Structures are given as C-alpha cells and as structure tokens.
Structure 1
C-alpha cells in the first residue's frame, strides 16, 4: 500500500515537472516556407520605438503600423513608449528543425543580465531561460559574458495563414494571472471553441506564462510568387509597409479586402501608375449604369525585382462602393490605461465613432467596428500540435529520471 502511495506521489511530481516545462503551442513543419506572425509583447521598462524595434530586429515603421500608430508624428521613431505598454510585434515565422519558430532575433548581454532576466523581463516571457540555454549551448547559465550575442528563439505559428479556411495571422500571446481563455477569446473576437482547437486544448484551463496561438482575421494578398512580399497578410485593424517604404496596405475595418496605396516615406519609388490609364495605385473610379456600377481600381500586385507592380481591375458591381474606410490611428502612446494592466491584451475596438476625416496624408483613419469573429473550430492542424502549454523545450533528463523511478516503484508491486 505504501508503494502505491509512493507511485502516486511520483506520478504527481512528474505531472508538476511537465507542467512547469510548458511554454507554447508547437506547430510541426516540414518545409522552409515562412509566414507573417505576431508576438504579444509587454514593455518591461520605458523604451524608444527604435529600441523596441532593435530588441526584435524589425523595422520601427513596421512596428508602428502593426499597432496602428500614426507615423506622421515628427521624429516618431524616437518616441518613448511607456513601461507595461502592450504591443503587437510583427515577425517572420520560419521552420527550424521541424518546428515553427523565429530565430531572427539576437540579443547582446549587459552586465546585470541573467538568462532568467532576459527571458522573463526583457522578452516578456516569450522565451524561457531553458530555451535560451539550449539554443545557445550554454553549459553554465550562471556565467554570461558582457556583450555576448544570444540567439532568442521566439514562438510563432503559421497554420497555413488560415483559420476556418479564412485568412488569419497568429498572435503568440503570453497568458497572465488575470487571464481566462474566454476573456482572451472575447478580446480578440474569436470563440472559445476556436481558441481551444487552434491550441489543441482538452480543457479551457490556462496557466500564467503559457503562450497561446491566437488567430486574428487578416487581409490576404494575391501577389505572384516572384514578388519579394509574396504572402503578405495584414491583420484586421492595422497597416503594413512594403515595397521599400513606398506602399502601405491596410485591412478593415468592415471587410477583409486588402487595400494598398502610396506611402510618403521613401525618397524614391518606381512608378505606381496603372498601365493604360491615368489611375495611380489605390485610385478607384465608379460609374453608375442601368445594369449596375462600373468600378475600376488600380491595385498593388507586389514588388518584383525592385519594381512596383500594379494591376488595373475593372468590374461590374450591383451597387457603387462608398468611400474607402481605414483602421483608426492612435497617437504615439505616452501612458498605459490602468485597466490594461489587469485586462486581456488590448486590441482595436469600435468606439461608436463614425467615419472620420484622415488626420494625415500618410495613413488615413476612420472608425472601426471590430474584427470579424472566427466561426467554428479550425481543421487540418497537425496531430503534433499539443496543448496550450506544449513542451516547446521540455526537461528531458529530469522527466526521464522521474519516469524511471516510477517504473522501479511499479515493478515490485506487480511482482
């Protein structure tokens, strides 16, 4: 009887160890394709926009547009963002050793750094100290050289850029003590069932530090494979800058049709006029007829060998479209709302305002009714994708030792 009690205690210990090693959802992969993804990141201290961008090795303008921040403000790249501000970080998600992750970020250590402080504070729990140790082959984690360059393995998922067969981009979201799965689902305009299916969860229980893959509806591009921005996805409620800062594309608020227009950032850009017309990129003409509305638009079709490709698209529609609406912009943040510290991560919400006049010629702004909800469960996820706290980097030695101990205790009882 005592032996069985020991068996149960060891089994419980194994469960606790496995749970402690949980971090993020795993998506197995077998090719070198990459996709657009997002990280949910909370600033650990006041940082300039350029410093946050440097932390993840991304373009500062891409960081701002992903969060619908008005980039027309003077010297916006050096604006100081407040501690505890939540940001969506756009990254490229690759296939590394059969698992989706991003290895494009490197970090130079400072005198006060430890693996734990880098993982938990600097990168906001998006990586664990064990993952850092393994990714950088560190034998003694207590010894870090100042200025040492560390690879930062960041979590991400692609799932073919779809959710329920609709375009989607996946946000890696770090669960906080105040979070519940239902609240996270509601905040990102998806369903509890869909969130559980995406993360292959048996129950809606989540733990502090788990990393969820959260699908956000997106506008998908139709660029040819020869385009350097092939596969561009823009999350609903945000913007993306492409073609060497020459083109900006937006998504939403009331549809999932990608809309691209010239951006006023680059010093020189190739022609953005559609051949055979006087229309420029983003221009639309409408003509009411007895049979409907003739609509002609000049659309962006990717950048190929440094040249911006445009396509003239005529169509006959039942009714004429209204003026183009844009996701609402925010000023570069100076403070963090009190409720954002205890509430699920912020995302664009409808504030009841109607369409507004653009505040800048660079990125227009209008009202936003919210993201379209994802309907029903996702399908086609690999059986290798595990629960919300999958073992992205398990503790193999410790777990194996405990299992061996469990076997040694069971055998005498069986005999």
Structure 2
C-alpha cells in the first residue's frame, strides 16, 4: 500500500481500527482508495458488494460470477424469488445490483476470497479487474493474491487460467452507531458526491466519513466506500441454525431450504418471517398425535399376521409323507 491513514472507531463490542488505504485500481497506475478493516480470527459476517453489470447477464450468471446463490442475489435486491424463471431473467448492462457475500478474515484484513474466475481469451488482469468486476478489485490485488509475477496488467492471460479475485468488505461487528447494520462496498462513479451517496442510502455524510476514516467529504471515481445499511437482526438462540441472521433494510433472506422468507422493513426495522408460496403451508402438514401406547384394532391399523409356519420361522422343513406335510 502506498499510504495508510489510521482511524479508530468505537463499535458495539469493542474498538475496531478502520483504514482508508490507497490502492491501484486502474491499469496504468491511477490510485484509488478503499476502506480496510484489520482483523484476527476466523469469524465472518454477511456483507454486500455494489456491482454494475458490464453486459446483459442472467441472474444466475451474476450469481455464478460471485459464487453466490441466485435466490440470495434476488433477495438482496428485493426481487421476487418465487417468480417463474426468476433465476434466468436477463438483467440489462449498466444495472446496479447488490451482491451478497461472506466477509472473512484473511491475511489480517477483512475481504471476500470465495470468488474463482477462469480467464477467457483476450482477458487481462486490467480487464478482469476494471471491466468484469467493475473496479471492485485492482489488477495489483489480483496479481498479489495469486502470486503472479509482476507483469504488464494489459498482457493477455492464458485462457482457462484460474484466478482468486479478492473483493472488499467490512464487518465492524455488523453494527453502526450501536445499531444493526450490513455494510455495502460501493465503487464511486463519475459524477458521484459523498452527500449524494449518503442521501441515497439514507445515512449522513458524517457517518460515511467516520466509517471510512475520511478527512474531508470528497471521494474520487474508483474509490471504494463502506456504506452502512440499517438492518434487522434476529434474536434466535445460539443453538438455532439462523443465529446471527441480519437482513438489510428493504430486503429479505431465505432460510430453511429457501422456504422461509425473513424480511426487514421497509416500514420498520423488525424482522418478519413467512413461508414462500411454493412451500408447504402449516395447514398442509398432517395433524400431530402422541405416540400410541396401546394397539388399536380398528381399520387404521393392519390386523396382526398369523404365526409363521416352521419354514417361514426358520425351522426344519418336514419330510414328504411325514406328519404335517401336505
């Protein structure tokens, strides 16, 4: 990193250090900044990536690019998961979507390292970073993550070459100002201003500056800002599979085999749950009864079978002509 600016922020469970670091996002040395959260341990959190489609793509193709579930992608954008053919719906080039990702601790910082990309003919590190992943990673970051030699970022990659693409994310204890939050990694676009970004995500300029350790409310195209989104947090016990579930405001998540929809807002920050229409409703399940303690002989149960003969019971077959033989 060419420069590091330290900033200490108070979080719900202790002190966290946020760093607004300078990284190279452009192939020809242009610098952009991204927010980095130092970490230790193996915990992870739910985070979102702001992604602008570089071409017309199916929902399933966007999900596959980021190793995400198509249903989770639809849910993160408040799109109907149950609509016929939803996963194969074509999204137009230039559309901005929120992509769910697990934000892990790797190499001492928060990042998502689940994405594996197979290079296509004519791909370069620069086009993979700036076009395919829309500036969410830099050519230098991809090179370093994969231990590649320092080469021209515009040099063609080998077709089929597998690359790990590190993507930016933060957790900050999934809270902002002591309230539940999911963090969105947002790539600043030409014409964006920090006040406009803050307004569009219903937060304040001060909050964006504090989260990203900014000395002034100025961001350049290519900078990656961590934007706190208000969220609903579950109160499930630790023994529950959905313990720690947190859902960004105005979206939903699917659990229990995509049958239960947990929604947040937009009217209030309270988590609500309901069954998906394609899943069995409560009245469709058979009535539950206590285990039987006696044997019933009505038509519900089969009558007892007659006692088996010696051969059926494993006894000796009688000799022909002996007593008991036919």
Give the shorter-chain TM-score range: 0.7 to 0.9
Residue 43 of structure 1 pairs with residue 56 of structure 2: no
| TM-score of the pair, normalised by structure 2 | 0.75
Say which of 64, 74, 92 aligns to 2:102. 92
C-alpha distance in 2 between matches for 1:224 and 1:47: 39
Q: What does residue 398 of structure 1 align with?
A: none
C-alpha distance in 2 between matches for 1:125 and 1:39: 11
What does 1:236-385 align with in structure 2 at a 5 Å threshold?
236-265=249-278
In the alignment, structure 2 segments of 5+ residues that lack a partner are 1-21, 289-326
Paired positions, count = 260
Instruction: Compute the displacement of 1:267 (Å).
Output: 8.3
Asked if the contact 2:170/2:226 (under 8 Å) is kept, the reply is: yes
Say which of 224, 228, 237 aligns to 2:237. 224
Structure with bigger gyration radius: 2
Say which of 185, 191, 208 aligns to 1:172. 185
C-alpha distance in 2 between matches for 1:157 and 1:187: 20
Q: What does residue 168 of structure 2 align with?
A: 155
C-alpha distance in 2 between matches for 1:147 and 1:17: 25
Instruction: Compute the displacement of 1:224 (Å).
Output: 2.4
| TM-score of the pair, normalised by structure 1 | 0.59
Greater strand fraction, Structure 1 or Structure 2 = 2
Residue 197 of structure 1 pairs with residue 207 of structure 2: no
Residue 56 of structure 1 pairs with residue 66 of structure 2: yes
Q: What does residue 319 of structure 2 align with?
A: none
C-alpha distance in 2 between matches for 1:168 and 1:272: 36
C-alpha distance in 2 between matches for 1:116 and 1:265: 43
Asked if the contact 1:39/1:91 (under 8 Å) is kept, the reply is: yes
Report which structure shows greater RCO (CA 8 Å, sep ≥6).
Answer: 1
Asked if the contact 2:24/2:140 (under 8 Å) is kept, the reply is: no
Asked if the contact 2:209/2:217 (under 8 Å) is kept, the reply is: yes
C-alpha distance in 1 between matches for 2:164 and 2:34: 18
In the alignment, structure 1 segments of 5+ residues that lack a partner are 1-14, 276-415
Asked if the contact 1:245/1:265 (under 8 Å) is kept, the reply is: no
Say which of 131, 138, 141 aligns to 2:148. 138
C-alpha distance in 1 between matches for 2:230 and 2:118: 35
Instruction: Compute the displacement of 1:255 (Å).
Output: 1.1
C-alpha distance in 2 between matches for 1:266 and 1:131: 43
Say which of 184, 207, 216 aligns to 2:197. 184
C-alpha distance in 2 between matches for 1:56 and 1:42: 13
Structure 1: which 4+ aligned runs deviate by more than 4 Å? 15-19, 265-269
Q: What does residue 210 of structure 1 align with?
A: 223
C-alpha distance in 1 between matches for 2:73 and 2:99: 6
Say which of 91, 94, 104 aligns to 1:81. 91
Instruction: Compute the displacement of 1:16 (Å).
Output: 11
SS in 1 for 2:195: helix
| 1:75–1:185 Cα change, 3 Å | same
Instruction: Compute the displacement of 1:223 (Å).
Output: 2.1
